[in-house]
Amino acid sequence: MRNSVGLMLDQELGHYQFKQQLLDEVGISRSFVWMRPDHKSPAEVQVQLQEQLQQCLRTLAQLPNGEGVLYRTTMSVNGLGKIDVYEYLYFLAKHAKRHVMQMERNATEYKLA
């Protein structure tokens, strides 16, 4: 990972605010409008989820002192904007939870039909 914009860890940790509310909404089905891009439609979901989990754990292991606040990406979902590594990992967990809820709802609807 690269800190491409030259952020300083002490400064970033001094004014750090985790985007909890926006990220929590990602885990709630139908909580905001979102048009899924075509490239977000995985063919082998279970394999991809396992690979993503392992990548997340490796990433956290590389950032034992809070360095994750120095690295950011832009996330268009729910107006999140720039999010750091920790927010991104939290987003992934909430996103997975959302899909579990969708599958449970689909299973319930299927049983009722």
Q: Distances in Å between the alpha carbon of 67 and those of 3, 25, 56, 59?
A: 9, 25, 15, 11
List pLDDT tens digits, range 15-72.
Answer: 999 989 988 888 777 677 766 665 555 566 778 878 888 998 998 999 999 999 999 9
Residue 109: band (very low, low, confident or very high) from pLDDT cuts 50, 70, 90: confident
**In the predicted structure, residue 101 carries a pLDDT above the cut 80:** yes
- Residue 36: the pLDDT is 63
**Predicted pLDDT of residue 43:** 60
Range in 3-7, 13-17, 93-97, 102-106 with the lowest mean pLDDT:
3-7
The set of residues, in sequence order, having a beta carbon less than 8 Å from that of 42 and lying 6+ positions away, is 48
pLDDT tens-digit map of 75-100: 988 899 999 999 999 998 888 888 88
Q: Which residues contact 109 (CB under 8 A, 6 or more apart)?
A: none
pLDDT at 23: 87
Residue 60's pLDDT is: 92
Judge contact between 23 and 87, C-beta under 8 A: yes
Domain ranges of the chain: 9-34+43-112
Verdict on whether the full-model pTM lies above 0.85: no
